[in-house]
Structure 1
Amino acid sequence: MRADAKENYNHLLTVARDVVTEHGANASLRDIARRAEVSHVTLLRHFPTREALLDALLQKGLEGLTVKAGELELSTSPGNALLYWLRNAVGFVQVYSGVVTMMATALANPGSALHASCDNLRKAGERLLKSAQAEGTARADMEGSDLFALIGALGWIGDQDSFKPRAEYLLDVIANAILIGRSREFH
């Protein structure tokens, strides 16, 4: 990519991050282009679909969570690794309003621009879950897809003004349901 094209790309991502943070995953692509002071066609040249734009926005964070899962596997007990990662994953999906629906849809669609990033995240969580299950600190009847669904559900709860005040408490409830033999609060 030419230097000026790379600069435009990075500028669009910076502006898009701001707009999506303010207005959610369904923010207007035209608003993003306007705020970036480029044409809608320029935006579409870099990001032909909303999913492609969101994938570019989310990719670094999703990759970071995937890498973090690997680091946690090596650095702490499986139960603690799962809990720490779960908290981080929920916090990540709460940053962008509406992203949970897109991630769930992308996971079911291998042709989606977000599919690979979401699938890698699901697999990373599944590895942590399986390690905790092998250690005997996590429910044996859960699957990685269950964990991914719970991240989505908890992210959605944090997205809702009426539920947001209880989001942290509800994360603790879910953590207590997943992890065996833990104390009531895990902050």
Structure 2
Amino acid sequence: MSADKAEAAASKPLRADAQRNRDALVEVAATAFAAHGVDASLEEIARQAGVGIGTLYRHFPTREHLVEVVYRREVEGLCAAADELALHHPPDVALEQWMQRFVDYIATKRGLATSLRILLNTNSTLFSDTSGRVSLALRRLVEAAVVSGSIRSDIDSSDVLHALGGIYSAPDTKDWRDRSRRLVSLLMDGLRFGAGKRAKGSD
């Protein structure tokens, strides 16, 4: 099946069992790409998802098509997490937990890097569709924490995003994820240091 036909098929509602298979493939692929990079075995992804390789190719006729769906899923999950965390936690805790989730997002993005560069040079709408969504989610969390007085007020979300960006370019060592999580904790310590005890704008 060609990529164009696959896109047309994807616009039609899937049967419940087909949707479960597709969701399982995307879930397993995200983990595999984060752990092994974009060259992770598609056969192994299919096996771990409990389907045959033919089923994988029916849903995702090319590796790049699977990469695109996985990346969209990661962006959507990260943005949804911002709203969910903000609903259930104090603003600074929501921000910290979201930044820890950001480490997992970066792990997957690093694994997808080669194919993402390929997609960047195609007519894919991937980047125009997702551009700015992550930074907007972070901005909402940072602004809420500033207003609550739980983090310092002399920073904005672009500063935080710049600091988090350093995680992406760090050497890919075995302990990269643990080190990145420690860096997030250090970053939060810095954001909390000197924070006002009253919400911004209060009397």
Class of the TM-score when normalised by the shorter of the 2 chains: 0.5 to 0.7
Give 1:111 deviation, angstroms: 5.4
Q: Give the corresponding residue for 2:82.
A: 69
**What are the Cα deviations for residues 15-37 of structure 1, in whole angstroms up to 9, with x where unaligned?**
6346424421x326xx4268646
Amino acid at match of 2:88: S
Q: Does 1:131 align with 2:144?
A: yes
SS of the equivalent of 1:160 reads coil
Across the aligned residues of Structure 1 and Structure 2, the Cα RMSD in angstroms comes to: 4.2
Q: Identity over the aligned pairs, expressed in percent?
A: 20
Q: Give the corresponding residue for 1:119.
A: 132
The answer to whether the 8 Å contact 1:138/1:178 transfers is yes
Q: Does 1:175 align with 2:188?
A: yes
Residues 20/125 of structure 1: CA separation in 2 closer, same or farther (3 Å cut): same
Q: Give the corresponding residue for 1:90.
A: 103
**What are the Cα deviations for residues 101-149 of structure 1, in whole angstroms up to 9, with x where unaligned?**
57x9799x995415534532221111111222233423433334x4334
Amino acid at match of 2:42: I
Amino acid at match of 2:67: L
Please give the alpha-carbon distance, in whole angstroms, between the structure 2 residues aligned to 1:101 and 1:73.
30
1:32 counterpart (35, 42, 56): 42
Q: TM-score of the superposition, structure 1-length normalised?
A: 0.62
Please give the alpha-carbon distance, in whole angstroms, between the structure 2 residues aligned to 1:14 and 1:85.
19
Residues 73/138 of structure 1: CA separation in 2 closer, same or farther (3 Å cut): farther
Please give the alpha-carbon distance, in whole angstroms, between the structure 2 residues aligned to 1:7 and 1:170.
36
Please give the alpha-carbon distance, in whole angstroms, between the structure 2 residues aligned to 1:100 and 1:177.
31
Q: Does 1:57 align with 2:51?
A: no
What are the equivalent positions in structure 2 for 1:139-150 lying under 5 Å apart? 139-144=153-158, 146-150=159-163
Larger Rg: 2
Residues 10/173 of structure 1: CA separation in 2 closer, same or farther (3 Å cut): closer
For structure 2, the residue ranges without an aligned partner over 5 or more in a row are 1-11, 47-51, 196-203
Please give the alpha-carbon distance, in whole angstroms, between the structure 1 residues aligned to 2:123 and 2:186.
32
SS of the equivalent of 2:39 reads coil
The answer to whether the 8 Å contact 1:62/1:117 transfers is yes
The answer to whether the 8 Å contact 2:30/2:70 transfers is yes
The answer to whether the 8 Å contact 2:103/2:180 transfers is no
Residues 101/153 of structure 1: CA separation in 2 closer, same or farther (3 Å cut): farther
For structure 1, the residue ranges without an aligned partner over 5 or more in a row are 183-187
Q: TM-score of the superposition, structure 2-length normalised?
A: 0.59
The answer to whether the 8 Å contact 1:13/1:57 transfers is yes
Amino acid at match of 2:174: D
The answer to whether the 8 Å contact 1:79/1:132 transfers is yes
Please give the alpha-carbon distance, in whole angstroms, between the structure 2 residues aligned to 1:18 and 1:84.
19
Amino acid at match of 1:27: D
SS of the equivalent of 1:98 reads helix
Please give the alpha-carbon distance, in whole angstroms, between the structure 1 residues aligned to 2:36 and 2:127.
20
